[in-house]
Amino acid sequence: MTDITQLAEGVGVYGPLVVGLLLTAGGGWAVWWIVRYLLADPMTRLSIRQAVRVRRGWKRLAPMLKLAATDKTPTALASLSNTDGKPIKPRVLIPALKVTHDAYGVIARATCLPGVGLEEFQKAAPHLANAWRCTRVAVTQDDPGQVVIRGVRLDPLKFKTEHRPTGLVPDEVARWNLGLDEYARPVSVDLTQVPGVTVAGLPGFGKTSLINCLMCDWAPSAAVQFAGADGKVKAAYEGDYADLVKRMFAFVGDDLEEANTLFHRLVALRRDRSSAIKAVLGVKSMWDVGPTEEWPLVVLIIDEAHTYFRDHKGSDPKTKKLAALAAENARLVEELVKMGRSVGILVVLATQKSTGDAIPTFIRDVCPVGLSFAQKTAEAAVAALGEEIRNWPDANPINLQDPAYVGVAAMNHQSQPGFTRIRTPYVPDACAADLAHATAHLTQDPAALLKAQLGRTQVVLRKDLDTTA
Ligand SMILES: Nc1ncnc2c1ncn2[C@@H]1O[C@H](COP(=O)(O)OP(=O)(O)O)[C@@H](O)[C@H]1O
Ligand SMILES: [Mg+2]
């Protein structure tokens, strides 16, 4: 009895304090919530409201979509309670749902229940999309017992994005940040151990801009050196690479002979690096020790690649010479892609032509990463991405011809099945120009670097000989 009296007294004394604290905490939370809402951009505000609706409607929606489970076994407490002989009601379990938001929509994490797992959620995805007013809903599982439901209210592919390069050395070597996928998830590709990348697509849909973005992100690293060939221009100062050429150790325009000289030069570098790699780096593959300032990753960009490879038909001596040069160019680039990986050479080929000779299939097929912006025909999509694209109609770049999709590409990566559609960001020209200017001093000829290293190695070798003598 005294216990109860003490408890009552305790409540009498502390009750108002506890209520006060709770009110303060609740008030603080509400203020924080309102401030966050007011500070958000209009797109995010819509998502915040959408997230509230999703949370509020979940308890009713889940059973309607068969995303609930019925537990007929009474809990220990229920079996002890008096039900006057009536059977104990089975419990309906609803997956717990935690909802967050971003500018494009909501991200919900739901717990799985017996009989309600990834497959059931995936089956319900189109209905969730309707109920939540989403353009698309994807369900994935990253942890056992939990699924992630991504709903996008707006199609991230249709929103142009901009990227301002930081000018900082990237944290990770050879990681290519490509943009956002159709669920606004960041997409990046690891280009370590990748010898070649192809980029195809109709003119004006973003091929050069994509390469521009890659260069801008990697340029601050002295462990990367670039060479360029642009089949659209006569000289560097007049084309898309007029600024970034400052960060290239070599550049050629549309002249087949000059391009041939550049490709020969890089093939020679490939061979020299291959013979020297054991002595200089002590390993068989550069990727075991990573690119360094002294042994940089060499990125050869071949834009409007068809200029250098296309078939020249005709029997006059001039045409014959061009045909021979084009054939040799293809052979040289093939060698670079087939054998350049271990010594740290990466070739990026871009073309607007959709025929097999634009980027010869024997080169395309050894490039593990392929991207295509919009294409006009199914054949062109196949020429760009391979036969496999026929099995993935949703991702086919023939669906990207609407101008809203400038900057959107479909990508395949040999390590995964299927294709990913990506909204690539645009780097404003002025940013690229500033960056090229700021990083121009990092440009070095990798052949000269190798020569210097070989020189040093020989000195060491001779010294070794001297000391052992
Ligand atoms: N990712 C992008 N986002 C928005 N606009 C872009 C994007 N990429 C390109 N554009 C626009 O399209 C134009 C042409 O792009 P470009 O990269 O030169 O095309 P391509 O090399 O395929 O012919 C650019 O000047 C820019 O205005
Ligand atoms: Mg271009």
Residue 301 C-alpha to ligand 2 middle, in angstroms? 12
Instruction: Report if residue 234 sits inside a domain.
Output: yes
* Residue identifier of the C-alpha nearest atom 13 of ligand 1: 204
Query: What backbone phi and psi angles, to 5 degrees, belong to 195?
Result: -90, -20
Tokens found for residue 319 = 């045409």
51 shares a domain with 141:
yes
* Residue identifier of the C-alpha nearest atom 2 of ligand 1: 407
What three-state secondary structure class fits 238? Answer: helix
Pocket test for ligand 1, best of 164, 211, 241, 406 (most atoms within 8 A of CB): 406
Residue 179 C-alpha to ligand 1 middle, in angstroms? 14
| β 297-303/420-423 pair status | unpaired
Looking at residue 146, what is its pLDDT? 96
Residue 77 C-alpha to ligand 1 middle, in angstroms? 66
277 shares a domain with 172:
yes
Residues 6+ apart with CB under 8 A from 47: 101, 102, 103, 104, 105, 106, 153
- The number of the ligand 1 atom at minimal distance from the alpha carbon of 161 is 3
Instruction: Report if residue 211 sits inside a domain.
Output: yes
What is the 3 state secondary structure string of 434-453? Answer: HHHHHHHHHCCCHHHHHHHH
Instruction: Report if residue 31 sits inside a domain.
Output: no
Structural domain harbouring 144:
41-73+90-154
Residue 270 C-alpha to ligand 2 middle, in angstroms? 27
List, in sequence order, every residue forming a beta bridge with 383; answer none if it has no partner.
none
* Residue identifier of the C-alpha nearest atom 7 of ligand 1: 407
CA dist., res. 370 & res. 412, Å (int): 5
Total-model pTM: 0.83
342 shares a domain with 198:
yes
131 shares a domain with 280:
no
Looking at residue 79, what is its pLDDT? 75
257 shares a domain with 394:
yes
Pocket test for ligand 1, best of 157, 198, 205 (most atoms within 8 A of CB): 205
* Residue identifier of the C-alpha nearest atom 8 of ligand 1: 206
pLDDT < 50: residue spans in the chain = 1-2, 459-469
pLDDT tens digits, one per residue of 210-223:
999 999 999 999 99
Residue 207 C-alpha to ligand 1 middle, in angstroms? 7
Instruction: Report if residue 350 sits inside a domain.
Output: yes
What is the residue whose two structure tokens read 């150790």?
Answer: 249
177 shares a domain with 127:
no
- The number of the ligand 1 atom at minimal distance from the alpha carbon of 408 is 1
DSSP 150-214: EEESS-GGGS--B-----SPPSSTTEEEEEEETTS-EEEEE-TT--EEEEE-STTSSHHHHHHHH
Residue 199 C-alpha to ligand 2 middle, in angstroms? 10
Structural domain count of the chain: 2
367 shares a domain with 269:
yes
Buried b (16+ CB within 10 A) or exposed e, 153-170: bbbbbeeeeebebeeeeb
Residue 408 C-alpha to ligand 1 middle, in angstroms? 10
Looking at residue 464, what is its pLDDT? 44
Residue 192 C-alpha to ligand 2 middle, in angstroms? 25
Instruction: Report if residue 84 sits inside a domain.
Output: no
Domain CATH for 340: 3.40.50.300
pLDDT tens digits, one per residue of 329-357:
999 999 999 999 999 999 999 999 878 77
* Residue identifier of the C-alpha nearest atom 10 of ligand 1: 206
Pocket test for ligand 1, best of 304, 353, 405, 426 (most atoms within 8 A of CB): 426
Looking at residue 466, what is its pLDDT? 46
**Which is nearest to 209 in space by CA: 172, 167, 178, 169?**
178
123 shares a domain with 168:
no
Residues with a CB atom less than 6 Å from ligand 1: 160, 201, 203-209, 406-407, 424-426
Residue 4 C-alpha to ligand 1 middle, in angstroms? 76
Ligand nearest to the CA of 373: 1
170 shares a domain with 114:
no
CA dist., res. 415 & res. 392, Å (int): 16
Tell the burial category of 403 from Cβ atoms under 10 Å away from its Cβ (0-12, 13-18, 19+): exposed
252 shares a domain with 225:
yes
Amino acid at 368: P
Ligand nearest to the CA of 201: 1
368 shares a domain with 301:
yes
